[in-house]
Structure 1
Amino acid sequence: MEDQTKVQIITIMGKSESQMDIVEKSTKLMKKSWTLIEIALSVLLLLMTSTVVALAVLYTTQRDKQFSSSTDKVCMTAGCVAAAARLIQNMDSSVSPCEDFYKYACGGWLSKHVIPETSSRYNVFDIVTDDLEVILKGVLERPDDRDRDAFKKAKQLYKSCINDTLIAGRDSEPLLNLLDAVGGWPVATSDWDVMKEPGWSLETILPQLNANYNNRVVVDIFVWTDDRDSSRHILYVDQPTLGMPSRDYYFGDSNYKKVREAYLQFMISIAKMIREDRNITKNDTFVEEEMMKVLELETEMANATATPEERHDITQMYNKMTIAQLQKKYDLHGFDWLQFIQGIMSTVDIEVHPEEEIVVYATEYLQKLKHILPKYSKSTLQNYLVWRLVIDHVSNLSRRFKDARANYRKALYGTTVEEARWRVCASYINANMKNAVGALYVRETFAGDSKKMVKDLIDKIREVFIETLDDLEWMDPASKQKAQEKAMAIKEQIGYPDYILEEDNPKLDEEYALLNFSESKYFENILENLKAGIQKSLRKLREKVDQDLWMIGAAVVNAFYSPNLNQIVFPAGILQPPFFSKHQHQALNFGAIGMVIAHEIIHGFDDNGRKFDKNGNMYDWWSNFSATHFKDQSSCMVHQYGNYTWDLAGGENVSGISTLSENIADNGGIRQAYKAYLNWVKKGGEVVKLPGLNLTHKQLFFLSFAQVWCGSYRPEYARQAIKIEVHTPLKFRVIGSLQNFEAFAEAFQCLRGSRMHPVKKCRVW
């Protein structure tokens, strides 16, 4: 069961576009069988060698002669030919690599790939994910009477999700039942009266929404590892998410106003639909006025939240206190914090007391919230709370509810078509039954020997990180020693947890033992999943931290670092082409998965990761000398990336502060991976070229790195991403990292002062 809590992990790629759908496309993978491709290519090579050579000559004669090296051997294995074809198709060799390496590497990809009508963005990760979901569809639809319980439940949940006819037949019935369970929706209820609800209070309704539906509104509260003591769990209080993805949508002009208006119409439409289904007298003016009040309330809360830049430094956010102290500092006009927190924890039979320690991440928000809540009636507050529950579940209802949100989705993401139902379902099951689905995926397609090869790459790159410490003049010996100790202590998780494939190990089935799904009640299955997930998370408050915890499932095209666990994770989903293959040129492996590995290792030493020690505790192990110089080195990148202007986002600049951690990881990652590759070559590695590509192995490394980030965005999503994403837009991830790397300029013989070889360069690691 996927924990429904805030997970403090850092990824190589951002999350997918929709925060509105319960089904998020957060897990990406691949299905293609390279064996079949290689067999086909081998046959073609035997029959068409002369044609391949002719095509290679035709291509290379159009390339700049400065890169030629006719004495090098050319690799003509099936793996090399397949990789070369992919690289060539994605490139635009008419562009100078010294002027715009992103277009040089990805111009062909951009010209051949159109963003699907269902998506707000499209990139290499998304393509691999799309292919992954085809595999998941196959394994989830395949009947097998011999399945273990975990697999049976995953397939049963999938069947309930895929049955559009049954979902349509039930129409609004599941939602109406849900509204009754949470006390009603005043705007769509004929007899909801504050005077008839004497027991209503935020302290009673908020715990119900949190513990039963993982709906954490007004105030967010969750259980996670104590940042200052990684051996235990603790309660956190934080500012909540909002109905729209970014606070800017609530008061910005231009496109933000357009999204805001569509959001309000979405709210009004759903409320009217529920009133009609309840056979309540039509009163459009009343509905519009009530939902306007809801938007006003949410706008005030949005204005009270801190910006991403203000929340960037985790040490500034961390404020430990007791519940009694919380009550004294932030009483919110009589809000009973102990009753609220106990109301949540009582659902898992845990008792808290006034001296229970908690961590408050949002002190300024709570201070401002005190002045907001008294302005609004109980009816408006209940209207808002229920609306936030409704918006979470619109995607799980019949078509007319999805149609009601269409204009909002178009304004927000630029999308005009819903995902195919089977994709929605495969993604949802993968996200919520990660280990069961992960096991099905690994059994179907993952090459087990990849684990050992990736472990070897990790060791090589870790070794390079430690070697590189000696080159850093801004860091003193004592801090270097601590950094080395932390690097050596980083734990790695590769592919998948072994137990999910062990037939005689009951652990996998036990994870889902309390879940009972009905093939005819998908909506209720979702609610059961939500409740099980959040309650599993809440129970951890009295449990010791599992230092070997897998943070994510195996069927994911991404990579992760956890500062609390000092752990890097590389799921099976990313351990395949174009990121990694034992059949492709090692320059490509080091440039792609090697950079991903190095990127995640560097996260342990970025501007926030460096604040955690080797045991995952937030502890200042830096000398004043090293800390001061780290900030100086980092400020160079803040300025560099903050000056990138993104046309798609209306000409807004990238936030150099919000993206700093990822930019440090990108820049350090490409350096470390490149050095590790050169070390491998020195020890007798490849010097062969790829067919049709008149490039050196060093140039292939950089080309492989850049092509991992080929992708495009819709303008609507770009305006959102630039506000909420911690990752720099794809093209700037490539350009920024390589502009700072002298070795890139040397490999492509770029003149100093050219765009890709600026005089001023930034470096941290």
Structure 2
Amino acid sequence: MGKSEGPVGMVESSGCAGQKRPGFLEGGLLLLLLLVTAALVALGVLYADRRGIPEAQEVSEVCTTPGCVTAAARILQNMDPTTEPCDDFYQFACGGWLRRHVIPETNSRYSIFDVLRDELEVILKAVLENSTAKDRPAVEKARTLYRSCMNQSVIEKRGSQPLLDILEVVGGWPVAMDRWNETVGLEWALERQLALMNSQFNRRVLIDLFIWNDDQNSSRHIIYIDQPTLGIPSREYYFNSSSNRKVREAYLQFMVSVATMLREDANLPRDSRLVQEDMAQVLELETQLAKATVPQEERHDVIALYHRMGLEELQSQFDLKGFNWTLFIQTVLSSVKIKLLPDEEVVVYGIPYLQNLEDIIDTYSARTIQNYLVWRLVLDRIGSLSQRFKDTRVNYRKALFGTMVEEVRWRECVGYVNSNMENAVGSLYVREAFPGDSKSMVRELIDKVRTVFVETLDELGWMDEESKKKAQEKAMSIREQIGHPDYILEETNRRLDEEYSNLNFSEDLYFENSLQNLKVGAQRSLRKLREKVDPNLWIIGAAVVNAFYSPNRNQIVFPAGILQPPFFSKEQPQALNFGGIGMVIGHEITHGFDDNGRNFDKNGNMMDWWSNFSTQHFREQSECMIHQYGNYSWDLADEQNVWCGSYRPEFAIQSIKTDVHSPLKYRVLGSLQNLAAFADTFHCARGTPMHPKERCRVW
């Protein structure tokens, strides 16, 4: 699909299947950083000396600047020289780091990315808490939002009342009120309920309706209809297995506990039997929805997913027992004063899901469906409530992530404000931690890596000349965004303040502040329908430790948060920058040619520009990779820091189900086993683990 891709799996509680938000980059960068730096700079010398192998090239100059010394110390600390690199290069390069780092109690994993994010959050804490001078309106609003999140005493004092108030707005939560069927239920309409959840609370439940660039015409926006996300991160959890059952049982108990507490706070009897039955029905409904959805690994071919049609065809194909599509879509758009056009078209991604949804809607009562819709809103708002509500999710989080301890409050609040006011917070971060001349250095690196990628296309025997030429054109047309948008630092430019002009926060109303963010976020997205696509719009904030590729824009993005040591620094040798951010750059470029990105041309339009010859051989080359990675095994039963100390077992299971990227260890070993230059550099005999008899290559 046209969503942005990155080297890391995205973990985003509010993300949606069709939301087309960036995917995250994760731990594999440590590998290439250490490969180019440790292997070719420090490790090459150490290893050659230890084995008595003549060095290929005598070192003519030693860098002793503070940046070089710091980098050298980091490399040496990260190594495990007792391991043979030809047996297990991951342990050889990372073993020292793994010995020195234990997964914090609050974390489900730990890697160099988590270390950098921790450091970034420390910087954000300082700038958000700085109130010595009056700043521009956008920044002041971010600080007010942060203080409201940190105002724990007020949050505790208010208890569940903010949530009880909002339940009335959404038509009530049947499980937490009396006489729902006899009152509200009689006037209940699914179309209006879904529209309300979408436009006012940014919860796209049951049916995912969103606005994004038209895959076939990247200069305009269009309405998309897709399958939704679920309450549990992966559809696989709803199916039978021992680990899945533990998660489902904890999830159900979480639902029951919250509903029971709200009944008590509303001065209603506990009625344990009613609550248990209602929530069991909700879980059963969600299980059926999970079965109706298509696995993400089967949704990479956007050409097969994309079906554009008018509203009449939409209604005739997916009647859903009388569901009024025009009423639903128009009610959503009315929240931003947009009227449907007579010839309005929509793009349907989730045809199999919608075909299955009709029987589900027909099976379950309005009460159960309403219970489910409101539960998804309540689930999203638990973090804005008092501690006793957070305590209800402890066992669920343990089953899902392996963690028993909540993140410290200031980190939670920093993350929340950064996610919801990314440009305002980004302006503070950039001023504090991102030198302006770094942009030009990164741009030079991008040009060099892209040039090499284009040159290597000539080496590919499986691709014909016509497809190679178009691939080269696409690679050379990739646009880059580096660091941050310029306007967030321009004091005389009011654009940053205008982005948040509809937000008016109060330090004593954190729950209501969060609702404002949901509404403004939803409506900002919906307004794009009648707006021309802005090719210069940033798809993510600056204070993010990640990188992205957007197929619809044919664009790579490197926020200031990832342009930090050890990935990049103007103070460290260029070799380290090539090994760190250079690998990230290469990773993002190749996303433009993977099984999703390859469906888009140089202008970001969905187009099959591959010849039949190249398509067939691409699939054949990919089979080698599938076989190689399919033969890896990952022991998740050990309750220690699985292999590399980076994952808790529960989260390791989740990452297998939800992350399109391989686990850290195998992103390292798989890449290097296929790299002839690696075996040559470390003199690995053919047949050793790092020099297998068969190698795979696509690009």
Of residues 6, 18, 37 in structure 2, which corresponds to 1:11?
A: 6
2:253 maps to 1:297? no
Contact kept, 8 Å, 2:176 with 2:259, in 1: the verdict is yes
Partner of residue 660, structure 2: 726
- CA distance change for structure 1 residues 614 and 101 in 2, over 3 Å: closer, same or farther? same
Q: Measure how far apart 1:633 and its partner are.
A: 1.3
Q: Is the 8 A contact 1:203 1:335 kept in 2?
A: yes
Counterpart in the other structure of 2:294: 306
Deviation sequence 1:79-113 (CA, Å, 0-9, x none): 22211111111111111111111111111111111
CA distance in 2, matches of 1:242, 1:740: 37
Q: What residue is the counterpart of 2:694 in the other structure?
A: 760
Cα offset, 1:64, TM superposition: 2.9
TM-score, scaled relative to structure 1: 0.85
Secondary structure of 1:222 counterpart: strand
Corresponding position of 1:510 = 498
3-state secondary structure, aligned to 2:297: coil
Give the whole-Å Cα distance in 2 for the aligned partners of 1:621 and 1:762: 24
Q: Does 1:362 align with 2:350?
A: yes
Residue 279 of structure 1 aligns with which residue? Answer: 267
Q: Which one of the candidate residues 42, 53, 61 is aligned to 1:66?
A: 53
**Counterparts of 1:235-384 in structure 2 under 5 Å?**
235-353=223-341, 355-384=343-372
Counterpart pick for 2:673 among 739, 743, 747? 739
Q: Does residue 90 of the first structure (1) align with residue 78 of the second (2)?
A: yes
Conservation of the 8 A alpha-carbon contact between 2:479 and 2:555? yes
Within 1, Cα distance between the matches of 2:25 and 2:684?
A: 36
1:608 to 596, 602, 605: 596
Contact 1:323–1:353 under 8 Å retained in 2: no
Letter in 2 for 1:216: R
Judging changes above 3 Å, is the alpha-carbon distance between structure 1 residues 67 and 347 closer, same or farther for their aligned structure 2 residues?
farther
> Which of the residues 166, 169, 182 maps onto 2:157?
169
Q: How many residues were matched structurally? A: 675
- Aligned partner of 1:575 in structure 2 is 563
Instruction: Give the distance between the partners of 1:61 and 1:468, measured in 2 at CA.
Output: 29
Equivalent residues of 2:2, 2:215 under 8 A apart: no
Q: Which amino acid aligns with 1:362?
A: G
Mapped to 1, the partners of 2:47 and 2:466 lie a distance apart of 51
The CA distance in 2 between the partners of 1:16 and 1:243, in whole Å, is 14
Correspondences of 1:690-705 after superposition (within 5 Å)? none
Deviation at 1:20, TM superposition (A): 10
Aligned to 2:682: 748
Q: Distance in 2 between matches of 1:7 and 1:432?
A: 22
- Determine if the alignment matches structure 1 residue 426 to structure 2 residue 414: yes
Q: Does 1:592 align with 2:526?
A: no
Instruction: Work out whether residues 649 and 716 of structure 1, in 8 Å CA contact, stay in contact via their aligned partners in 2.
Output: no
Alpha-carbon distance in 2 for matches of 1:752, 1:368: 52
Q: Which amino acid aligns with 2:663?
A: P
Contact residue 649 and residue 722 of structure 1 kept, 8 A: no
CA distance in 1, matches of 2:622, 2:132: 55
Q: Which moved more, 1:605-614 or 1:74-83?
A: 74-83
1:477 paired to 2:479: no
Per the alignment, residue 705 of structure 1 pairs with: none
User: Contact 1:102–1:735 at 8 Å: present in 2 too?
Assistant: yes
Gaps of 5+ in 2: 27-41
Q: 1:541 to 1:196 in 2, by over 3 A?
A: closer
Shift of 1:583: 2.0
**541, 544, 551: which one aligns with 2:539:** 551
* 1:714 counterpart = 2:648: yes
- Whole-angstrom CA distance in 2 between matches of 1:190 and 1:409: 30
Query: Aligned residue for 1:232?
Result: 220
Q: CA deviation at 1:595?
A: 0.7
Note if contact 1:9-1:563 (Cα within 8 Å) is conserved in structure 2. yes
Amino acid at match of 2:52: K
1:688 is aligned to none
Task: Say whether residues 1:190 and 2:185 are aligned partners.
Answer: no
By how many angstroms is 1:144 displaced? 4.1
- Letter of the structure 1 residue corresponding to residue 77 of structure 2: Q
Q: Structure 1 residues 301, 71: closer, same or farther in 2, change over 3 A?
A: closer
- Aligned residue for 1:669? none
- Given that residues 155 and 510 in structure 2 are in contact (C-alpha distance below 8 angstroms), is that contact kept between their aligned partners in structure 1? yes
Matched-pair contact (CA < 8 Å) for 1:28–1:133: no
1:266-291 superposed Cα distances (whole Å, 9 cap, x missing partner): 00000100000011122111111111
Question: Aligned residue for 1:495?
Answer: 483
* CA–CA separation in structure 1 for the residues paired with 2:339 and 2:374: 27
Contact 1:17 1:717 (8 Å CA) reproduced: no
Q: Which letter does structure 1 place at the counterpart of 2:687?
A: G
Please report how far the alpha carbon of residue 309 of structure 1 lies from its aligned counterpart in structure 2 after TM superposition: 2.1
Alignment match, 2:31: none
Equivalents in 2 of 1:403, 1:177: separation in Å?
21
How far is 1:587 from its partner?
A: 2.1
Shift of residue 67, structure 1, vs aligned partner? 6.3
Whole-angstrom CA distance in 2 between matches of 1:199 and 1:737: 59
Secondary structure of 1:435's partner? helix
1:403 counterpart (391, 396, 399): 391
Between stretches 583-592 and 506-515, larger displacement belongs to 583-592
CA distance in 2 between partners of 1:28 and 1:132 (Å): 16
Please give the per-residue CA displacement for 1:697-729, whole angstroms capped at 9, x wherever unaligned.
xxxxxxxxxxxx976100001111101101111
Contact 1:223 1:234 in 2 (8 A): yes
| Code of the aligned partner of 1:475 | M
**How far off is 1:471 after superposition?**
1.4
Identity of matched residues, %: 61
Partner Cα distance (2:654, 2:71) in 1: 34
Shift of 1:637: 1.1
Distance 1:342 1:484 in 2: 43
1:633–1:764 CA contact under 8 A, matched in 2: yes
CA RMSD of superposed structures (Å): 2.4
For the structure 1 residues 236 and 176, does the alpha-carbon distance in structure 2 shift closer, same or farther, using more than 3 Å as the test? same
Offset, 1:15:
2.5
Change in CA separation of 1:20 and 1:611 when aligned onto 2, cut-off 3 Å:
closer
Cα distance in 2 between the residues matched to 1:102 and 1:59: 17
Counterparts of 1:411-450 in structure 2, within 5 Å, are 411-450=399-438
Structure 1 residues 737, 28: CA separation in 2 closer, same or farther (over 3 Å shift)? closer
Q: Is the 8 A contact 2:25 2:548 kept in 1?
A: no
Whole-angstrom distance in 2 between the partners of 1:564 and 1:634: 24
| Separation of aligned partners in 2, 1:515 and 1:399 | 26
Query: What residue number does 2:32 align with?
Result: none
Residue equivalent to 1:536? 524
> Is 1:28–1:555's contact at 8 Å kept on the other side of the alignment?
no
Post-superposition offset of 1:451: 0.6
- Secondary structure of the structure 1 residue equivalent to 2:110: strand
Deviation at 1:219, TM superposition (A): 0.7
Query: Aligned letter for 2:648?
Result: R
Determine if contact 2:422/2:543 at 8 Å carries over to the other structure: yes
| SS of equivalent residue, structure 1 residue 230 | strand
- The 1:190/1:62 distance shift into structure 2, 3 A limit, reads farther
Q: Is residue 630 from structure 1 mapped to residue 613 from structure 2 by the alignment?
A: no
Q: Deviations over 1:603-628 (max 9, x none)?
A: 11112111100100010111222222
- Contact conserved, 2:300 with 2:595, CA < 8 A, in 1? no
**SS state at 1:550 partner:** coil
Q: For residues 451 and 198 of structure 1, what CA distance do their matches in structure 2 show?
A: 60
State the shift of 1:467 in Å. Answer: 1.2
SS across alignment from 1:570: strand
Cα 1:127–1:338 change in 2 (3 A) is same
Judged with a 3 Å threshold, the aligned counterparts in structure 2 of structure 1 residues 441 and 26 are, in CA distance, closer, same or farther, namely farther
Q: Compute the displacement of 1:19 (Å).
A: 6.0
